[in-house]
Amino acid sequence: MKQKKKSFLNRLNAWLHLWTGIVTGIILVAVCLSGTLVVYGDEVIDWSAGKAKYVTEVKNSRISVEQMIKNIKRELPNCKVSEVLVYKDPKRSVRFRSFSKEQGLSMIYVDPYSGKILKNDATGNFFFTMAHIHAAFLWQGPGEWIVDIATIIFLIEIITGIILWFPVKWNKHNIDASFKIKWRAKFKRVNYDLHNVLGFYSSVLAIILTVTGLLIAFNSVSQKTIQLFGGDWNPRWQQKVLPQSDTLKHSIPLAAVIDEQLNKTPDARVAQVWIYQLPTTGYYMITTAKNIGLKSAENAHISFVDRYTGKALPVPPKNLKGEYIENNIWQLHMGTWMGQAGKLFTFLCGLICTSLPITGFIIWLGKGRKKKKRKQPVMITAV
């Protein structure tokens, strides 16, 4: 029986899926793999801290965060502190994020009762490097555009892939072929199923990861999206709305403000303050949350406090909502949107997306060889 010829749109869709995949395949393998490795970065960093996460003795009084920073600068002069995490649990040490030319990104754990540095751990630098490969191939500017264009193409690949996957007829044979992997079949069939079936199962989450990645990459698109959801966000809104640094005034100790915010949010376990902002700002931006990772916070509560009076600062609701939406975008992209379950789904999706260009290339290679065999002329020997 003669096979029905595919329509022009079907052939165009198949052509787009094939050649966009071939052009961006190697790039997407690197981008997806590096992003997948970052998913469990927070857990690995926590594990690597070991005993330094906790103090040996809980005392009645703590030293100030400012004094801890001075201790770090004295003992580790090349480390530039950018962030502090203070935990509600009195047994937990205080964690500082820092960067130096020698170590790169590192986490410094300090005993808040003695001021002693418990550990300077550079494990996080691996994930810092992976994140920069994921975003720009460690090539600021041109590398960012290469990744961004490849990501847009990947979105096209996902959509065209779903169209190719969609069964023409919903009979038992087609349903089994579309939803099940025939593990006992030959390699060629298993490889096809790994591409076709796993590609479909991961498609929804892959679209979410791709779209959120593009939102993070393009500020203008991100701003429009945040406005669409009722927020208003841009990188400089705080400079326009909130008070700036005044060297004639004395700042309230940071620890007192952090403790107050932690007490106001009973479900929070940790508070975060970005230290690098303090020289130019007249306020503390404090995020309290259940968990705070490298890029996002779980069940976050954001507050702005005047650093000279300790009073809460009025923030335009749209700007505050913009901060929450931006955090939600990062949660969706990092997989923290549903705790450990969300991370697991994101990790598995990342592995599948890493494999798709490889399994797709093997399918294309097999089809190319098949065509060559068909075109091979039959040799006629004279008798």
The β-bridge relationship of strands 117-121 and 270-274 is unpaired
Which of the two residues, 201 and 169, has the higher pLDDT score? Answer: 201
What's the CA gap between 274 and 281, in Å, rounded?
11
Amino acid at 27: I
Structure confidence at residue 34 (pLDDT): 98
What is the Cβ-side half-sphere exposure of residue 233, based on CA atoms within 13 angstroms? 24
Structure confidence at residue 56 (pLDDT): 95
pLDDT band at 236 (very low <50, low <70, confident <90, very high): confident
Asked if residue 346 has pLDDT above 90, the reply is yes
Lowest-confidence segment of 28-42, 49-63, 167-181, 189-203 by average pLDDT: 167-181
pLDDT band at 367 (very low <50, low <70, confident <90, very high): confident
Q: How many CB atoms lie within 10 A of CB 15?
A: 11
What's the CA gap between 312 and 301, in Å, rounded?
13
Give the pLDDT mean for 244-263: 94
pLDDT tens digits, 270-294:
999 999 989 999 999 999 999 999 9
Sorted by sequence, the CB contacts under 8 Å of residue 116 that are 6+ apart come out as 71, 110
Q: Kindly report the pTM of this predicted structure.
A: 0.90
Asked if residue 380 has pLDDT above 50, the reply is no
Contact, 236 vs 230, CB < 8 A? no
Structure confidence at residue 371 (pLDDT): 60
What's the CA gap between 353 and 341, in Å, rounded?
18
What's the CA gap between 159 and 288, in Å, rounded?
38
Architecture of domain 49-129: Roll (3.10)
Sorted by sequence, the CB contacts under 8 Å of residue 274 that are 6+ apart come out as 82, 83, 285
The DSSP element (H or E) to which 115 belongs, if any, is none
What's the CA gap between 140 and 127, in Å, rounded?
17
Structure confidence at residue 377 (pLDDT): 55
What's the CA gap between 192 and 164, in Å, rounded?
13
